[in-house]
Amino acid sequence: MINITFVDIIDYIGTFAFAISGIRLASQKNFDLFGAFIVGMATAVGGGTLRDIMLGHSPFWMTQWVYLAIVAFSLLVFIFFHKGIHKVSNTLFLFDTIGLALFTVVGYEKTYSAGFPFWTACIMGMFTGAAGGVIRDILINEVPLIFRRDIYALACGVGGLVLAAGLWLGFSDVISQLACALSVIVTRILAVKYHWQLPILKDDVK
């Protein structure tokens, strides 16, 4: 905890934004403080937890109390400032997007360095970024949002492919990761700004 790097700070900001997104939805379902904490935690660390389990590790947060503390802090922030939260929704969107970009990079790197092929790393990047939101929606008993709206997980997929391409073209790790993060952020911002949507699948049942 003494040496907090720039990457750590981004990680914490992303965790905060993800936790707030879970806590907001929990509050709309009239969850109690405990329920809101759990949903916030699941949103923030759920994707990384699934990734670690699939890679055969124990989840990363089990040895680092800082993630628990950030979710607790998010809950306090929400309790005291929820009335003003819509005023900072642009800031929260930015935090969320930055977090999404970092989580994609982390998911990719952990998977790729464990010896899996690049496309598995891309998928695990998407998992790390987007699966927390799916777990959140399952816990609040809603159809997962990212299956119906928005370019969200797909932005992680784009980032993963950029990272793979960067490494394949011989760029350094750091350059490739920065390009990955940037492409996640740009894709996500453009998608929201221009209301990009994937086509909805046509129903075959009348």
In the complex, least distance from residue 178 CB atom to a copy of itself, rounded to whole angstroms: 25
Asked whether 163 and 176 are in contact (CB, 8 A), the reply is yes
Q: Which long-range contacts (CB under 8 A, 24 or more apart) does 90-95 make?
A: 92/17, 92/20, 92/21, 93/192, 95/13, 95/14, 95/16, 95/17
Nearest to 103 by CA among 184, 188, 30: 184
Give the interface segment with a copy of itself, choosing from 5-13, 52-60, 90-98, 161-169 (CB under 8 A).
52-60
Residues 6+ apart with CB under 8 A from 57: none
> With contact defined as beta carbons under 8 Å apart, do 189 and 151 qualify?
no
User: Is the distance from CB of 158 to CB of 186 less than 8 angstroms?
Assistant: no
Site for a copy of itself in 107-166 (CB under 8 A): 116-117, 119-120, 123, 134, 138-144, 146-149, 153-154
Nearer residue to a copy of itself within complex by CB, 140 or 186: 140
Tell me if 3 contacts a copy of itself by CB under 8 A.
Answer: no
Residue 166 one-letter amino acid: G
* Of the candidate residues 15, 43, 49, 74, the single one contacting a copy of itself (CB under 8 A): 49
Q: By CB under 8 A, is residue 24 in contact with a copy of itself? A: yes
User: In whole angstroms, how close is the CB of 125 to a copy of itself at the nearest point?
Assistant: 13
Q: How many residues bind to a copy of itself according to rule CB under 8 A?
A: 61
Question: How far is residue 15's CA from residue 93's CA, in Å, rounded to a whole number?
Answer: 13
CB atoms within 10 A of CB 113: 11
Question: Does residue number 8 form part of the binding site for a copy of itself (CB under 8 A)?
Answer: no
Among 17, 39, 98, 164, binds a copy of itself (CB under 8 A): 39
Contact flag: residue 63 with a copy of itself (CB under 8 A): yes
Residues in 80-99 that interact with a copy of itself by CB under 8 A = 82-83, 85-86
The conformational region for residue 203 under phi > 0 = left, psi -120 to 50 = alpha, else beta, is beta
Q: Give the footprint of a copy of itself on this chain (CB under 8 A).
A: 23-24, 26-36, 38-39, 49, 53-59, 62-63, 65, 68, 78-79, 82-83, 85-86, 116-117, 119-120, 123, 134, 138-144, 146-149, 153-154, 197-205
